[in-house]
Structures are given as structure tokens and as C-alpha cells.
């Protein structure tokens, strides 16, 4: 997973090493994840043995520097891994996504040398991270936080409740956002690193979801949870910058997840239409079906190029706010269209769990909701267009 020493690949094309990396991750997912997809969905759980294999593969610490046990690769490699895994199971894809594009990135950019040495090494060696921003009253209005952080002689006391936290059931390391002064608005928000087992911190109920069911989504409860000053991430009152900048990167990761799952659904639909016969010929022989598949493939290709472009801009330290919003908006809406088509092409079989497309269809819906709804992405794009 080392960064290529050759010239950078064009924005929307893969260098040979990148293609090899993506294909090798997909081969792993096809071999190790696919046999358990239905069982994981039914039991709403990713087995710990599979998580161990993800760490062994190296996809849980792609950008973590080699000195801390990581891959020392690029953000683009993280995007490729999320895409490849989501082609088989988007639940596992988002586990990898949050670890890399949110938690690792926040620590790389904002952590002190001591925090990076401690937590990046842990995240590379078997511990999972989670990113705790959302609350019951602060979803799209992400900065309307009520979780409080009160300074004490021993550090900070956190009190409040977080909702819909991905990786909550498995995580050992949580990046938590709280406000030191609700009247200060976003200027009061401060970020902290909280470890599982800290007194006053409890992982609450796990949500029973429509899609990506194997991915855990939990509430977090803080009852005067004492966090040392050394666990504060970034400056006091500057947590909003951490949240904004990491979420912009995370949106590219969700775009990759949607591209991967749409690819998986289209794979299944193509195979089914070539095997299923009606009126004496395969469904794929009908021009109407061919045209629908062609449109879906074109839609998917456009979304993939947008995701790749945004990821390249990020790695090249170019502005990517608009591109991140656009790729998440288009990829999530594309995924719903493509997976819906796949269900239609399967006919009655598409509506039952014996076939894979109903799960892809359920999994796709969350793409328009988490890490910024489609309406928020439209607002971001419009704001940039209008200056």
C-alpha cells in the first residue's frame, strides 16, 4: 500500500498500483466477506474474526504512517478500499470508511505528537474508532450541540447524549464533540478523544435499521465523564473546524461506498438477466433491458469519476468542498436508482432475501441521509456557485 513513486495518475484514472490495490481488496471481500453477507445482515453484526482479517489486510489504517504500523498510503487508497469492499457488503465498507476517512484523518491533522503516537498505533493494531457528532436535536444542524464539556482541575467533564454513531458497538476510541458554552454557538464546540471504559461513558442501545444492518449504529451516554486535558483534540472552541474538514473528506468516502454497492447490484443484475429466460430467450436479449443496463452503467461510471476526482483534489491539497458535496449527492442518488433497477430486473426474486439485490436496495437509502443529507449537499453546492 505504499504510494507510487511514479507521476500522479490523471484525476479520474487509476495508476497500475492503485488498480492492483483495489482489485486485491475486492478479491479479499469476494472470498472472505461474501459468504457471510446474508448472515451478518440477519444478525446485525460483523464477526470479530472478520474484523481481525481487515486489520491483517491493512485496510483499517491505510493512511496511518508506517512508523505507527499503518500503510503509509493516500486518502485515495482509502476511497478505493471502501469502494471495493462495498461492492460486496456496504456494512463492512462503512466500518472501514469511518475508521479511515474520519477518525484517522482527524488524528493525523489535529492530534498532538503524543496523541498520534498513541491512537494511530492503536488504530493500526486492532482498535476501532468512531466519530461522535450527531445528537437527537442536531442532525443537519450539526452544531446545535447540547453535550457539555466543563473544565475542571482534573480535565473536562462531558455530559450529554450522542445518537446514530457508526462503529459504536465495536469502537474503543471515540472522537467526541461537545460545547463548552452553548451561547457561543459553533465557537464553543471542542473535540475530545474518549476511550471505551472511561468512567461515566456508556455505549447505549444499538439501532435496528433498514439497511447496512451489520454496521453498528449506537447511542453514546456521558454522565460527567472525566476526560484528561491531554485527550482534548485541537484547540478549545475550534472543534467545528475539525468537524467540517473531516466530514468533507468523509463525504467522499460515502460516495465511494455508494459507487461500490451500485456496482455490486449491477453485477448481480447483469448476471441474472443473462441467465433468466422469458419468452424463449434471456432477459438480456431484450433491447429495453439492454438500454436500462446501459443507462445504469453510465450513471455509475459518472459517479465513480466524481468520487475519484474529489479524492485526487484532496490528496493534492486543492480545494475540494464542492467536489465532495457533488460526488456524495450524485453517488447516493445514483445508488438508489441503480439498486431499484436491479430489483425490478430480478422481478419477484428481487423482492426476497434469497437474492442479493434487495439488500443493496435497502443499503443504498442511507447514502442520502448520513454525513450530510442531499439537501445539505445542494445547499453547499449552491453556496459555492453563488459566491
Q: Which domains does the chain have, with CATH numbers?
A: 16-128 (1.10.540.10), 130-236 (2.40.110.10), 241-385 (1.20.140.10)
Q: Residue 187's Cα: distance from chain center in Å? A: 26
> Which residue is catalytic, options 18, 135, 323, 371?
371
Q: Is 149 helix (H, G, I), strand (E, B) or coil?
A: strand
3-state secondary structure of 281: strand
- Kindly give, in sequence order, each residue whose CB lies less than 8 Å from that of residue 350, ignoring residues fewer than 6 positions away: 342, 343, 344, 357, 358
371 as an active site residue: the answer is: yes
User: Over its length of 387 residues, how does the chain's per-residue pLDDT go in tens digits?
Assistant: 444 444 456 677 899 999 999 999 999 999 999 999 999 999 999 999 999 999 999 999 999 999 999 999 999 999 999 999 999 999 999 999 999 999 999 999 999 999 999 999 999 999 999 999 999 988 778 778 999 999 999 999 999 999 999 999 999 999 999 999 999 999 999 999 999 999 999 999 999 999 999 999 999 999 999 999 999 999 999 999 999 999 999 999 999 999 999 999 999 999 999 999 999 999 999 999 999 999 999 999 999 999 999 999 999 999 999 999 999 999 999 999 999 999 999 999 999 999 999 999 999 999 999 999 999 999 999 999 998
Tell me the C-alpha distance between 327 and 325, whole Å: 6
Burial class (CB in 10 A: 0-12, 13-18, 19+), 191: buried
Amino acid at each position: 500500500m505504499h504510494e507510487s513513486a511514479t507521476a500522479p495518475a490523471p484525476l479520474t484514472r487509476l495508476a497500475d498500483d492503485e488498480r492492483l490495490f483495489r482489485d486485491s481488496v475486492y478479491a479479499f471481500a469476494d472470498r472472505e466477506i461474501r459468504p457471510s453477507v446474508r448472515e451478518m445482515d440477519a444478525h446485525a453484526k460483523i464477526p470479530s474474526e472478520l474484523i481481525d482479517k481487515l486489520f491483517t489486510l491493512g485496510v483499517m489504517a491505510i493512511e496511518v504512517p508506517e512508523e505507527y504500523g499503518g500503510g503509509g498510503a493516500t486518502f485515495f487508497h482509502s476511497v478505493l478500499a471502501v469502494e471495493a469492499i462495498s461492492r460486496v457488503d456496504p456494512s463492512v465498507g462503512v466500518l472501514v470508511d469511518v475508521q479511515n476517512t474520519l477518525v484517522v484523518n482527524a488524528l493525523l491533522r489535529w492530534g498532538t505528537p503524543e496523541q498520534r503516537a498513541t491512537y494511530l498505533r492503536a488504530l493500526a493494531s486492532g482498535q476501532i474508532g468512531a466519530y461522535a457528532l450527531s445528537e437527537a436535536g442536531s442532525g443537519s444542524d450539526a452544531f446545535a450541540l447540547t453535550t457539555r464539556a466543563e473544565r475542571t482541575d482534573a480535565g473536562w467533564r462531558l455530559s450529554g447524549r450522542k445518537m446514530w454513531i457508526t462503529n459504536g458497538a465495536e469502537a474503543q476510541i471515540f472522537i467526541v464533540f461537545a460545547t463548552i458554552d452553548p451561547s457561543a454557538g459553533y465557537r464553543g464546540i471542542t473535540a475530545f478523544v474518549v476511550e471505551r471504559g472511561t468512567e461515566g461513558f456508556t455505549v447505549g442501545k444499538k439501532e435496528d435499521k433498514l439497511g447496512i444492518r451489520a454496521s453498528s449504529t449506537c447511542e453514546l451516554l456521558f454522565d460527567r465523564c472525566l476526560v484528561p486535558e491531554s485527550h482534548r483534540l485541537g484547540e478549545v472552541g475550534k472543534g467545528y473546524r475539525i468537524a467540517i474538514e473531516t466530514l468533507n473528506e468523509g463525504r467522499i468516502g460515502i460516495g465511494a461506498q455508494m459507487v461500490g454497492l451500485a456496482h455490486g447490484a449491477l453485477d448481480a443484475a447483469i448476471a441474472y438477466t443473462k441467465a433468466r429466460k422469458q419468452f424463449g430467450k434471456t432477459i438480456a436479449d431484450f433491447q429495453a433491458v439492454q438500454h436500462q443496463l446501459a443507462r445504469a452503467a453510465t450513471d455509475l461510471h459518472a459517479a465513480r469519476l466524481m468520487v475519484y476526482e474529489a479524492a485526487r483534489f484532496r490528496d493534492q491539497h486543492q480545494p475540494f468542498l464542492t467536489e465532495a458535496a457533488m460526488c456524495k449527492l450524485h453517488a447516493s442518488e445514483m445508488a438508489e436508482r441503480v439498486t431499484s433497477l436491479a430489483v425490478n430486473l430480478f422481478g419477484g426474486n428481487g423482492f426476497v432475501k434469497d437474492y442479493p439485490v434487495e439488500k443493496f436496495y435497502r443499503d443504498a437509502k442511507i447514502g442520502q441521509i448520513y454525513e450530510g443529507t442531499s439537501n445539505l449537499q445542494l445547499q453547499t453546492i449552491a453556496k459555492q456557485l453563488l459566491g
